[in-house]
């Protein structure tokens, strides 16, 4: 698996997140972290993880209408409707993207909850087996 070395700051800028958020992501995903010659942390990020990320979101800007209202008059209604329609469509696309990301995050959280539940059940079973073995005494353990 090919990786690319990035500092936390560079990775945060590339992912559009804070440095603390990137540290948590690196820890959760088990990315290797090393120190450079100056003691600065370098994260070795798999290329596949960088290709999946979207560029950081830029703040929304409303494009002003191309026509200015005449002095003392009102703005052309058609130009205003066009500008508002364009902004509505852009916001609808952003909303769809956020909903998709939310659905992915919820699915990932459900998977993690399921895995944690399985691990808890398995741990409880193993604790029970351990108690049973510990309660048998020397000859019971030896004879099995």
Segment 121-132 shows an average pLDDT of 91
C-alpha 35/C-alpha 13 separation (Å) is 19
Q: Is the pLDDT of residue 85 over 80?
A: yes
Segment 98-107 shows an average pLDDT of 90
What pLDDT, on a 0 to 100 scale, did the predictor assign at position 60? Answer: 53
Segment 35-57 shows an average pLDDT of 79
What pLDDT, on a 0 to 100 scale, did the predictor assign at position 5? Answer: 93
3 state SS of 129: helix
Distances (CA, A) of 74 to 67, 68, 69, 70, 77: 11, 9, 5, 7, 8
């Amino acid at each position: 698996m090919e990786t690319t070395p990035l500092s936390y700051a560079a990775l945060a800028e590339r992912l559009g997140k804070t440095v603390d958020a990137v540290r948590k992501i690196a820890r959760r995903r088990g990315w290797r972290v090393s120190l450079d010659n100056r003691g600065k942390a370098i994260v070795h990020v798999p290329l596949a993880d960088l290709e999946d990320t979207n560029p950081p979101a830029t703040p929304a800007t409303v494009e002003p209408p191309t026509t200015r209202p005449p002095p003392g008059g009102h703005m052309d209604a058609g130009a205003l409707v066009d500008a508002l329609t364009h902004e509505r469509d852009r916001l609808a696309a952003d909303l769809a993207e956020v909903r998709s990301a939310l659905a992915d995050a919820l699915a990932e959280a459900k998977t993690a909850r399921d895995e944690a539940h399985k691990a808890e059940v398995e741990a409880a079973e193993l604790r029970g087996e351990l108690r049973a073995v510990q309660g048998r005494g020397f000859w019971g353990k030896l004879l099995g």
